[in-house]
Amino acid sequence: MAMIKLLGLRISVYTRIASLALEEKGVDYELEEVDIFADNGPPEEYLAHNPFGTIPSLIHGDFYLYETGAITRYIDETFPGVALQPARSAQRARMNQIISILDCYTYKPMVWDIYVQRIVVAEGGGKTDEALIASALPTSQNALQQLDELREDNEFLTGEVVTLADLHAYPILRLFVETPEGQAMLDSFPRLQQWMTTMQDRASVRATSFASTDETENGF
Ligand SMILES: N[C@@H](CCC(=O)N[C@@H](CS)C(=O)NCC(=O)O)C(=O)O
Protein backbone atom coordinates (compact mmCIF):
# COMPACT_ATOMS: atom_id res chain seq x y z
CA MET A 1 0.00 0.00 0.00
CA ALA A 2 1.21 3.53 -0.79
CA MET A 3 2.63 5.44 2.13
CA ILE A 4 0.05 7.41 4.10
CA LYS A 5 1.28 10.44 5.95
CA LEU A 6 -0.73 12.94 7.95
CA LEU A 7 0.97 16.32 8.29
CA GLY A 8 -0.12 18.28 11.34
CA LEU A 9 0.27 18.49 15.09
CA ARG A 10 -0.97 16.01 17.66
CA ILE A 11 -2.30 18.90 19.74
CA SER A 12 -4.38 20.27 16.85
CA VAL A 13 -8.14 19.78 16.82
CA TYR A 14 -8.34 19.32 13.07
CA THR A 15 -5.34 16.99 12.93
CA ARG A 16 -7.10 14.89 15.55
CA ILE A 17 -10.28 14.76 13.46
CA ALA A 18 -8.33 13.32 10.51
CA SER A 19 -6.38 10.97 12.81
CA LEU A 20 -9.67 9.68 14.25
CA ALA A 21 -10.88 8.78 10.75
CA LEU A 22 -7.60 6.95 10.02
CA GLU A 23 -7.78 5.12 13.35
CA GLU A 24 -11.43 4.14 12.88
CA LYS A 25 -10.61 2.69 9.44
CA GLY A 26 -7.56 0.87 10.82
CA VAL A 27 -5.23 2.60 8.35
CA ASP A 28 -1.51 2.36 8.97
CA TYR A 29 -0.26 5.95 8.84
CA GLU A 30 2.47 8.19 10.08
CA LEU A 31 1.86 11.56 11.74
CA GLU A 32 4.54 14.03 10.70
CA GLU A 33 4.59 17.09 12.92
CA VAL A 34 4.54 20.42 11.07
CA ASP A 35 4.76 23.43 13.34
CA ILE A 36 2.57 25.98 11.62
CA PHE A 37 2.53 28.05 14.83
CA ALA A 38 6.31 28.65 14.76
CA ASP A 39 7.42 32.29 15.09
CA ASN A 40 8.26 32.40 11.36
CA GLY A 41 4.94 30.85 10.38
CA PRO A 42 4.40 27.58 8.53
CA PRO A 43 7.48 26.10 6.79
CA GLU A 44 7.91 27.23 3.15
CA GLU A 45 7.78 23.66 1.84
CA TYR A 46 4.44 23.15 3.62
CA LEU A 47 2.97 26.34 2.16
CA ALA A 48 4.02 25.17 -1.30
CA HIS A 49 1.46 22.37 -1.02
CA ASN A 50 -1.09 24.08 1.24
CA PRO A 51 -1.06 27.83 0.58
CA PHE A 52 -3.46 28.46 3.47
CA GLY A 53 -0.94 27.01 5.92
CA THR A 54 -3.60 25.15 7.89
CA ILE A 55 -3.25 21.67 9.30
CA PRO A 56 -3.78 18.86 8.62
CA SER A 57 -2.78 17.73 5.13
CA LEU A 58 -2.76 14.15 3.88
CA ILE A 59 -0.25 12.54 1.58
CA HIS A 60 -1.24 9.22 0.00
CA GLY A 61 1.43 8.16 -2.49
CA ASP A 62 1.63 11.11 -4.88
CA PHE A 63 -1.82 12.46 -3.89
CA TYR A 64 -1.71 15.55 -1.66
CA LEU A 65 -4.88 16.81 0.03
CA TYR A 66 -5.74 19.54 2.52
CA GLU A 67 -9.06 20.60 4.15
CA THR A 68 -10.19 18.22 6.86
CA GLY A 69 -13.68 17.55 5.51
CA ALA A 70 -12.19 16.46 2.19
CA ILE A 71 -9.52 14.39 3.96
CA THR A 72 -11.93 12.44 6.18
CA ARG A 73 -14.30 11.70 3.30
CA TYR A 74 -11.33 10.60 1.16
CA ILE A 75 -10.12 8.31 3.96
CA ASP A 76 -13.56 6.77 4.34
CA GLU A 77 -14.07 6.22 0.62
CA THR A 78 -10.54 5.00 -0.14
CA PHE A 79 -9.77 2.52 2.59
CA PRO A 80 -11.58 -0.67 3.55
CA GLY A 81 -13.22 -1.07 6.92
CA VAL A 82 -16.43 0.08 8.51
CA ALA A 83 -18.22 2.86 6.59
CA LEU A 84 -18.06 6.24 8.33
CA GLN A 85 -20.74 7.86 6.15
CA PRO A 86 -24.40 6.78 6.14
CA ALA A 87 -25.63 5.09 2.99
CA ARG A 88 -29.01 6.89 3.07
CA SER A 89 -28.85 10.32 1.49
CA ALA A 90 -30.96 12.05 4.15
CA GLN A 91 -28.75 10.73 6.94
CA ARG A 92 -25.60 11.58 4.97
CA ALA A 93 -26.93 15.11 4.45
CA ARG A 94 -27.54 15.35 8.22
CA MET A 95 -23.95 14.27 8.83
CA ASN A 96 -22.67 16.91 6.41
CA GLN A 97 -24.93 19.52 8.03
CA ILE A 98 -23.45 18.75 11.44
CA ILE A 99 -19.89 18.94 10.11
CA SER A 100 -20.71 22.32 8.59
CA ILE A 101 -22.21 23.57 11.88
CA LEU A 102 -19.06 22.43 13.68
CA ASP A 103 -16.74 24.20 11.23
CA CYS A 104 -18.74 27.43 11.13
CA TYR A 105 -20.18 27.82 14.62
CA THR A 106 -18.08 25.86 17.13
CA TYR A 107 -14.35 25.78 16.36
CA LYS A 108 -13.63 29.51 16.64
CA PRO A 109 -15.94 30.39 19.55
CA MET A 110 -15.38 27.24 21.60
CA VAL A 111 -11.67 26.63 20.97
CA TRP A 112 -10.07 29.98 20.16
CA ASP A 113 -12.33 32.44 21.95
CA ILE A 114 -13.17 30.43 25.06
CA TYR A 115 -10.70 27.55 25.54
CA VAL A 116 -7.57 29.40 24.44
CA GLN A 117 -8.46 32.51 26.44
CA ARG A 118 -9.57 30.67 29.58
CA ILE A 119 -6.88 27.97 29.67
CA VAL A 120 -3.94 28.64 27.35
CA VAL A 121 -3.62 32.38 27.88
CA ALA A 122 -4.21 32.05 31.61
CA GLU A 123 -1.66 29.24 32.00
CA GLY A 124 0.84 31.30 30.01
CA GLY A 125 0.46 34.15 32.47
CA GLY A 126 -1.37 36.39 29.98
CA LYS A 127 -4.49 38.48 30.50
CA THR A 128 -7.68 36.63 29.62
CA ASP A 129 -9.99 38.56 27.28
CA GLU A 130 -13.23 38.20 29.24
CA ALA A 131 -15.19 40.20 26.68
CA LEU A 132 -14.14 37.78 23.93
CA ILE A 133 -15.22 34.82 26.06
CA ALA A 134 -18.58 36.46 26.84
CA SER A 135 -19.18 37.22 23.16
CA ALA A 136 -18.49 33.58 22.18
CA LEU A 137 -20.91 32.04 24.67
CA PRO A 138 -24.23 32.62 22.80
CA THR A 139 -22.91 31.11 19.54
CA SER A 140 -21.56 28.13 21.47
CA GLN A 141 -24.85 27.69 23.31
CA ASN A 142 -26.80 27.82 20.06
CA ALA A 143 -24.48 25.29 18.42
CA LEU A 144 -24.80 22.84 21.33
CA GLN A 145 -28.57 23.28 21.25
CA GLN A 146 -28.69 22.42 17.55
CA LEU A 147 -26.34 19.43 17.93
CA ASP A 148 -28.50 18.16 20.78
CA GLU A 149 -31.71 18.53 18.77
CA LEU A 150 -30.27 16.98 15.60
CA ARG A 151 -28.94 14.02 17.56
CA GLU A 152 -32.34 13.29 19.07
CA ASP A 153 -32.13 10.07 21.13
CA ASN A 154 -29.66 8.30 18.87
CA GLU A 155 -26.47 6.88 20.33
CA PHE A 156 -24.34 8.91 17.90
CA LEU A 157 -24.92 12.28 16.26
CA THR A 158 -26.52 10.93 13.09
CA GLY A 159 -27.82 7.54 14.14
CA GLU A 160 -26.85 4.30 15.83
CA VAL A 161 -23.31 4.07 14.41
CA VAL A 162 -20.36 6.42 14.56
CA THR A 163 -19.90 8.67 11.51
CA LEU A 164 -17.59 11.45 10.39
CA ALA A 165 -19.87 13.89 12.26
CA ASP A 166 -18.94 12.33 15.61
CA LEU A 167 -15.25 12.35 14.72
CA HIS A 168 -15.49 16.03 13.74
CA ALA A 169 -17.32 17.00 16.91
CA TYR A 170 -15.39 15.19 19.62
CA PRO A 171 -12.00 17.01 19.48
CA ILE A 172 -13.72 20.42 19.51
CA LEU A 173 -16.04 19.63 22.41
CA ARG A 174 -13.21 17.89 24.28
CA LEU A 175 -11.31 21.16 24.56
CA PHE A 176 -14.45 23.20 25.21
CA VAL A 177 -15.32 21.12 28.30
CA GLU A 178 -11.88 21.82 29.75
CA THR A 179 -13.25 25.28 30.56
CA PRO A 180 -15.74 25.91 33.38
CA GLU A 181 -18.03 27.66 30.88
CA GLY A 182 -17.93 24.71 28.49
CA GLN A 183 -18.50 22.13 31.23
CA ALA A 184 -21.43 24.10 32.66
CA MET A 185 -22.97 24.46 29.22
CA LEU A 186 -22.60 20.77 28.43
CA ASP A 187 -24.16 19.90 31.79
CA SER A 188 -27.40 21.42 30.51
CA PHE A 189 -27.45 18.92 27.61
CA PRO A 190 -27.47 15.47 29.26
CA ARG A 191 -27.84 13.63 25.92
CA LEU A 192 -24.68 15.29 24.61
CA GLN A 193 -22.90 14.56 27.86
CA GLN A 194 -23.80 10.89 27.44
CA TRP A 195 -22.50 11.01 23.87
CA MET A 196 -19.17 12.44 25.13
CA THR A 197 -18.87 9.54 27.57
CA THR A 198 -19.59 7.03 24.81
CA MET A 199 -17.00 8.63 22.54
CA GLN A 200 -14.37 8.75 25.28
CA ASP A 201 -14.35 4.95 25.43
CA ARG A 202 -13.47 4.46 21.77
CA ALA A 203 -10.03 3.09 20.98
CA SER A 204 -9.56 5.76 18.28
CA VAL A 205 -10.21 8.51 20.82
CA ARG A 206 -7.72 7.06 23.29
CA ALA A 207 -5.11 6.59 20.55
CA THR A 208 -5.32 10.24 19.49
CA SER A 209 -5.47 11.89 22.91
CA PHE A 210 -4.02 15.41 22.83
CA ALA A 211 -1.92 14.52 25.87
CA SER A 212 -0.63 11.40 27.51
CA THR A 213 -3.68 11.30 29.77
CA ASP A 214 -7.24 12.09 28.73
CA GLU A 215 -7.77 14.06 31.92
CA THR A 216 -5.79 17.18 31.15
CA GLU A 217 -5.84 17.61 27.44
CA ASN A 218 -4.37 20.69 25.84
CA GLY A 219 -4.58 21.57 22.18
CA PHE A 220 -5.73 24.10 19.56
N1 LIG B 1 -10.48 24.70 6.95
C2 LIG B 1 -9.38 23.98 7.58
C3 LIG B 1 -9.25 24.46 9.01
C4 LIG B 1 -8.20 23.69 9.77
C5 LIG B 1 -7.68 24.52 10.93
O6 LIG B 1 -8.19 25.62 11.23
N7 LIG B 1 -6.63 24.02 11.56
C8 LIG B 1 -6.01 24.82 12.58
C9 LIG B 1 -5.30 23.97 13.60
S10 LIG B 1 -6.42 22.95 14.49
C11 LIG B 1 -4.99 25.69 11.90
O12 LIG B 1 -4.36 25.26 10.96
N13 LIG B 1 -4.87 26.96 12.34
C14 LIG B 1 -3.93 27.87 11.81
C15 LIG B 1 -4.52 28.85 10.84
O16 LIG B 1 -5.74 28.86 10.63
O17 LIG B 1 -3.73 29.61 10.27
C18 LIG B 1 -9.61 22.48 7.54
O19 LIG B 1 -10.78 22.09 7.54
O20 LIG B 1 -8.65 21.73 7.47
10 Å CB burial of residue 145 (0-12, 13-18, 19+) is middle
Q: Which of 91, 102, 92 is nearest to 68 (CA)?
A: 102
CA of 54 to the centre of ligand 1 (A): 4
Residue 219 has a pLDDT of: 67
Burial of 6: CB neighbours in 10 Å, binned 0-12, 13-18, 19+: buried
Same domain, 99 and 135: yes
E strands of 9-97, at which residues? 30-33, 57-60, 63-66
- Whether 95 is in a domain gets the answer yes
Q: Is 14 in the pocket of ligand 1 (CB under 6 A)?
A: yes
Ligand 1 centroid to Cα of residue 67, in Å, is 8
Please report the atom of ligand 1 found closest to the CA of residue 13: 10
93 lies in the same domain as 131: yes
* Residues 89-96, mean pLDDT to the nearest whole number: 97
Q: Do 96 and 50 belong to one domain? A: no
Tell me: do 60 and 104 sit in the same domain: no
The preferred substitution site among 9, 55, 64, 104 for testing ligand 1, maximizing ligand atoms within 8 Å of CB, is: 55
161-182 per-position pLDDT tens digit: 999 999 999 999 999 999 999 9
Question: What pLDDT does residue 214 have?
Answer: 46
Q: Which range marks the domain in which residue 192 is found?
A: 89-207
With respect to residue 14, please indicate whether it lies within any of the assigned structural domains. Answer: yes
Residue ending a domain, among 78, 104, 127, is: 78
pLDDT band at 210 (very low <50, low <70, confident <90, very high): confident
For the cut 70, the answer to whether the pLDDT of residue 216 exceeds it is no
If you average pLDDT over residues 11-18, what whole number do you get?
A: 97
Amino acid sitting at position 197:
T
Point out the domain boundary residue: 12, 43, 78: 78
Is the pLDDT assigned to residue 215 strictly greater than 60? no
pTM, rounded to two decimals: 0.95
Mean pLDDT of the chain: 95
Q: Does the pLDDT value for residue 212 go beyond 90?
A: no
Number of structural domains the chain divides into:
2
> Would you say the CB of residue 115 lies under 6 angstroms from ligand 1?
no
Q: Are 202 and 93 in a shared domain? A: yes
CA of 43 to the centre of ligand 1 (A): 15
Atom 16 of ligand 1 has which residue's CA nearest to it?
Answer: 54
Interhelix angle 13-25/68-78, rounded to 10 degrees, is 10
Q: What is the CATH number of the domain that holds 95?
A: 1.20.1050.10
What's residue 111's pLDDT?
98
In the predicted structure, residue 41 carries a pLDDT above the cut 90: yes
**2 vs 183, residue with greater confidence:** 183
Among 14, 17, 35, 103, the mutation site with the greatest number of ligand 1 atoms within 8 A of its Cβ is: 14
Q: Which of 78, 102, 135 is the last residue of a domain?
A: 78
Give 60 Cα–ligand 1 centroid separation in angstroms: 20
Q: Dmax of the chain from CA atoms? A: 51
- Regarding the beta carbon of 36 and ligand 1, being less than 6 Å apart is answered yes
